[in-house]
Amino acid sequence: QSALTQPRSVSESPGQSVTISCTGASSDVGGYNFVSWYQQHPGQAPKVIIYDVNKRPSGVPDRFSASKSGNTASLTISGLQAEDEADYFCCSYAGTYTWVFGGGTKLTVL
């Protein structure tokens, strides 16, 4: 159960778009359409922004979108806003009632 691989940090200017990757294996990301993404601001609990690869819970802006290709999932945030600055984590089901998270990506909005 190795952690999923995410870039440690990304940065972009307000109004622009950024994509965060999440690479796993055929036993997790590639094997199931159960990838979720979480946003975490400092000192807070994570908040789900994407589930089942590309679905948004109610209340999450459509600026957040996601996809998956093979063993890599991706989160795209368009029209970046200052409040999007946070840590982002991917998570995948890994079979037999186990889950695995990514190491997290720190998004800086310049």
Can you give the binding site for other proteins, defined by CB under 8 A?
A: 1, 3, 34, 36, 38, 45-48, 51-52, 57, 89, 91, 93, 96-104
CB of 72 to other proteins, least distance (A): 17
Token representation of residue 107: 């998004």
Please name the residue that has the structure tokens 């368009």: 78
Nearer to other proteins among residue 39 and residue 71 (C-beta): 39
CB of 13 to other proteins, least distance (A): 25
Nearer to other proteins among residue 17 and residue 41 (C-beta): 41
- CB-based contacts of 44: which residues, under 8 Å, 6+ apart? none
Torsion over CA: 27, 75, 48, 87 (sign): positive
Nearer to other proteins among residue 1 and residue 26 (C-beta): 1
User: What is d(CA 42, CA 28) in angstroms, rounded to the nearest whole number?
Assistant: 28
CB of 11 to other proteins, least distance (A): 18
Nearer to other proteins among residue 19 and residue 34 (C-beta): 34
Q: Do residues 37 and 101 touch, judged by C-beta distance below 8 A?
A: no
CB of 99 to other proteins, least distance (A): 4
Nearest by Cα to 32 from 2, 73, 66: 73
